[in-house]
Copies of this chain bind each other. A is one copy, B any other.
Amino acid sequence: MAKTRILIVGGGFAGVYAAMGLERLVGRDPDVEIGLVSRENYLVFQPMLPEVISGSIGITDTLAPIRRLCPRTNLYTRAVESIDLKRRRVNAAAGFGSRQCALEYDHLVVAVGNQTSFAGQPGLLEHALPFKYLGDALVLRNHVIHVLEEADIERDPEVRRTLLTFVVAGGGFSGVEAIAELNDFVRRSARAFRNLDPREIRTVLLHAGSVILPELPESLGRFAQKVLVKRGVEIRFGTRLHGATAESAILASGERIPTRTLVSTVPSAPNPLVASLPVRKDRGRIVVDEFLRVPDHPGLWSAGDCASVLDRATGQPHPPTAQHAIREARCLAANLVATLRGRPLRPFAFSALGKLGALGHRSAVAEVFGVRLAGFLAWWLWRTIYLMKLPGLDRKLRVATDWTLDLLLPPDIVQLKTDRASSIRREHFEAGETIFREGDRGDRLYVVVDGEVEVVRKDAALGEVVLCKLGAGESFGEIALVSEGVRTATVRSLTPVNVLTLDRETFHSLFAHFPPLRGFFEDLIQRRLAPPMG
């Protein structure tokens, strides 16, 4: 008799708790095989991510290795490339080497969650820091330390102001938790920098509504506002973020806040894998029945943020939170096993236990079973509940130790440069910005993706001379790269411009070894260095 193969796609709360539920029910049944495909080999305990910013929790301590949570599941640490419902097959990315990996299944659980998306906001993709995944928290932490390092040795007051302004967009749970931790961390860390005056630091929260934390009753939102303002956070109400450049946050009103640190807790977008599935969807989420089955697709199940599960009390879909994902996953596992065993299924029913929002430094707001809490008690409750929920005894012990040490020790200001400055990246400029100045170091090549720029040079007699205008597909900045010198002209954007940029090393390794490119750039440089282009 062939084994029944259950495959789970997604390593978040829904996927991992589904595997744990299945293991409990059929893990020792030799006729059932459980597989889980996850991009990472760990489950991120999201509620503690903000504390990774400040380093009060060790980097890996919010992560639980999936293998230890579900030891009887085959874990495939791979990205999923496509799902073929007809052939009942999931294609995973290649590991070492280039062989593809096709996984066949009898039952498939889709639990891929959603994604962040900056679509429609110019410059955010290029210059805003998202805040959803562990990687985001690490990048943000290192970026903040980098900014402090630079501010400490910067003398230009305007540049200092830009470096020492920190903006978070979005006054919901994640935005508030992010600004609270960021504010605490920046202000505590600044003490280790000899040339920084704490009064130079500005932290700003942008919020579209009139009271923050709209998920909670207004009184708690107002309490949270008071706490944040007392700690030095500036809250801008009725304000929406329009876009960003490398040096500013642009508000919908047109106002610009000069900053090098813009955190955006962005609205989530459907996962492209979900979008590609030929099943019924509601606002991008897979519609499932009350048993968490996908209608008309026997053997297909879904739970978590990517599934639209109706709350039978309200008729509305359940919100995409961890609490719901965990309960849905357990119910799904029970119903899947009941289906295998020919037993009756049970419908999903759950009402949220409560909502908790941390405000950093021993304060929080909470609504639990309808009771409102604020301040130290809510914070204590927050820590206790999340420590209990943190999967795995070893993580509990590590986080408890972290918290104890954090009471005793100053914040850790080590800057781990994990993300090497990427060799090829995108940048966005609004109209009228200077992309580089004559005399600057030439460290990147630019290719215009869309928009228009002008190349100008100062002339002793004529003042500023426009040498040329460049549009999509044209490149600039190659002269200083090849001569290893400084910029021979200034380039400014005439319209909003998106560019692709290559760093010096990439430019050289690519063009040294690739004759057609070398030829192209040699011609281009010769043309541009010849009069009248100067």
Contact = CB atoms under 8 A, between A and B. Distances in A.
A235 to B, nearest CB: 27
Given A260-B96, A405-B398, A414 B65 contact: yes
Interface in A409-466: 409-410, 412-420, 422-424, 426, 436, 440-443, 447-449
Contacts of A473: 513-515
A531 interface: no
A486 to B, nearest CB: 9
A149 B194 contact: no
B71 A194 contact: yes
A394 B410 contact: yes
Interface in A378-406: 394, 397-398, 401, 405
Interface in A461-518: 472-473, 475, 500, 502, 506, 509-510, 513-517
A285 B59 CA distance: 38
Contacts of A410: 68, 394
Contacts of A74: 152-153, 194-195
B260 A98 contact: no
A89 to B, nearest CB: 16
14 contacts: A41-B149, A58-B58, A59-B59, A63-B414, A72-B194, A97-B159, A98-B442, A99-B440, A394-B409, A401-B405, A418-B419, A423-B424, A424-B510, A447-B510
Contacts of A414: 41-42, 60, 63, 65
**Looking at chain A's contact residues, is the secondary structure mostly helix, strand, loop, or mixed?**
mixed
B193 A67 contact: yes
A440 B398 CA distance: 43
A145 interface: yes
A76 to B, nearest CB: 5
A213 interface: no
A192 B447 contact: no
B500 A510 contact: yes
B150 A96 contact: yes
Nearest to A426: B509
Interface of A: 40-42, 55, 58-60, 63, 65, 67-68, 71-72, 74-77, 94-101, 135, 145-147, 149-150, 152-154, 159, 163, 192-195, 246, 260, 394, 397-398, 401, 405, 408-410, 412-420, 422-424, 426, 436, 440-443, 447-449, 472-473, 475, 500, 502, 506, 509-510, 513-517, 520
B413 A397 contact: no
A400 to B, nearest CB: 10
Given A163-B96, A441-B98, A59 B416 contact: yes
A424 B505 CA distance: 10
Contact of A423 (B75, B76, B422, B449): B422
A441 B92 CA distance: 12
A170 to B, nearest CB: 24
A72 B192 CA distance: 10
Nearest to A193: B67
B75 A415 contact: no
Contacts of A163: 96
